[in-house]
Amino acid sequence: MQIDSSTVFIPGATSGIGLGLALRLRAAGSTVIVGGRRTERLAAIAAEHPGIGTVEIDTADPASILRARDEVVARHPELDAVVLMAGIMEAEEFKDPSSLEIAERTVVTNLLGPIRLVHAFLPQLRSRGSATIVTVSSGLASVPLAVTPTYNATKAAVHSLSETLRVQLETTGVRVVELVPPATQTDLMGLNDNPTALPLEDFLDEVMGILETQPEVAEVLVERVKWQRHAEREGRYDEVFATLSARYRD
Ligand SMILES: NC(=O)c1ccc[n+]([C@@H]2O[C@H](COP(=O)([O-])OP(=O)(O)OC[C@H]3O[C@@H](n4cnc5c(N)ncnc54)[C@H](OP(=O)(O)O)[C@@H]3O)[C@@H](O)[C@H]2O)c1
């Protein structure tokens, strides 16, 4: 993706990594539209950053996805990139029956949402001749965290989906880039207060550096995430899994 000349829609950019990436891409010269459910956040972003567009979208609702797609494409017929950022992460406990609701919500938002978004935006992206879909998985796609079973599973699925989508689209001009964040300080599951998580601006510095120097990259892997992503190939899977599982047992 050309960071300085793309027109990018980021559903899931009212806070955290999505908003940070939106501001970085805008500063680099791209046109950026952010989306999310929290209309008060969208209004605040529009007021603070007049160059950034905003669109209300609930990626768990198929009708809302199509409405937002129509609005974005009508306003920006040159749209050539979509970042599938919207996601939720909540602790679950299989011994507590009420966790089923969390699991169902997580699958709809983190897995069905990106699948529906790809279907909704693909005709537009294909019509551009050259375009990009950025999927957002996680280091937990490679080694799971026992506190969040369904979250990990959806992110492993997003990784798998990214691989096959890339193959299916290879003759279309639409590239698939997988962004793989490690634990990063955002509102997600209280990570803002976690000193072991990567500061958001440090994460964004590395991401922008990778996108700028490797515009053809398939996976955006910052150094911190390689502990998880490369665990299996480097023979460290059991050790990393045991470390992550200890956080549940504590
Ligand atoms: N932070 C990390 O450590 C980390 C690590 C790996 C992967 N990730 C992934 O990075 C992505 C962004 O997370 P974040 O850390 O930046 O957390 P965040 O600050 O909580 O941001 C989540 C974003 O997703 C949006 N969202 C959630 N459900 C939505 C829905 N149904 N419809 C539309 N938008 C929705 C939220 O907007 P509204 O609430 O306004 O709708 C918000 O803008 C997620 O996919 C997450 O899984 C994060």
Q: What is the fold of 7-249?
A: Rossmann fold (3.40.50)
Q: Within 13 A of 21's CA, how many CA atoms are on the CB side?
A: 31
Q: Is the pTM of this model over 0.95?
A: yes
- The 10s digit of each residue's pLDDT in 218-238 is 999 999 999 999 999 999 999
**Ligand 1 atom nearest 151 alpha carbon:** 47
Q: Is the pLDDT of residue 186 over 90?
A: yes
The residue whose CA has the least distance to atom 20 of ligand 1 is 188
Find the catalytic residue in 121, 151, 203, 241: 151
pLDDT, averaged across the chain: 97
Q: Is the pLDDT of residue 250 over 90?
A: no
- The 10s digit of each residue's pLDDT in 96-123 is 999 999 999 999 999 999 999 999 999 9
- Six-digit token pair at 30? 């791209």
- Rounded to the nearest whole angstrom, what is the distance from the C-alpha of residue 155 to the centroid of ligand 1? 12
- Rounded to the nearest whole angstrom, what is the distance from the C-alpha of residue 18 to the centroid of ligand 1? 7
Q: List C-alpha distances in Å: 170 to 14, 49, 107, 129, 175.
A: 31, 35, 27, 12, 7
- What number is the average pLDDT over the span 176-196? 95
- Rounded to the nearest whole angstrom, what is the distance from the C-alpha of residue 201 to the centroid of ligand 1? 16
Q: Which pLDDT score is estimated for 118?
A: 99
Please report, for the chain, the start and end positions of each structural domain, with discontinuous segments joined by +: 7-249
Long-range contacts (CB closer than 8 Å, 24 or more residues apart) made by 208-212: 208/3, 208/24, 208/28, 211/1, 211/3, 212/3, 212/28
Catalytic (active site) residue 237: no
Q: How confident is the model at residue 38 (pLDDT cuts 50, 70, 90)?
A: very high
Q: Is the pLDDT of residue 1 over 90?
A: no
Residue that has been written with the tokens 């909704």 in this structure: 120
Q: Is the pLDDT of residue 204 over 90?
A: yes
pLDDT above 70 covers a percentage of the chain that reads 100
- What number is the average pLDDT over the span 62-82? 98
Q: Which pLDDT score is estimated for 154?
A: 99
Q: Which pLDDT score is estimated for 203?
A: 98
Q: Which pLDDT score is estimated for 105?
A: 98
CA-nearest of 147, 148, 29, 22 to 85 is: 22
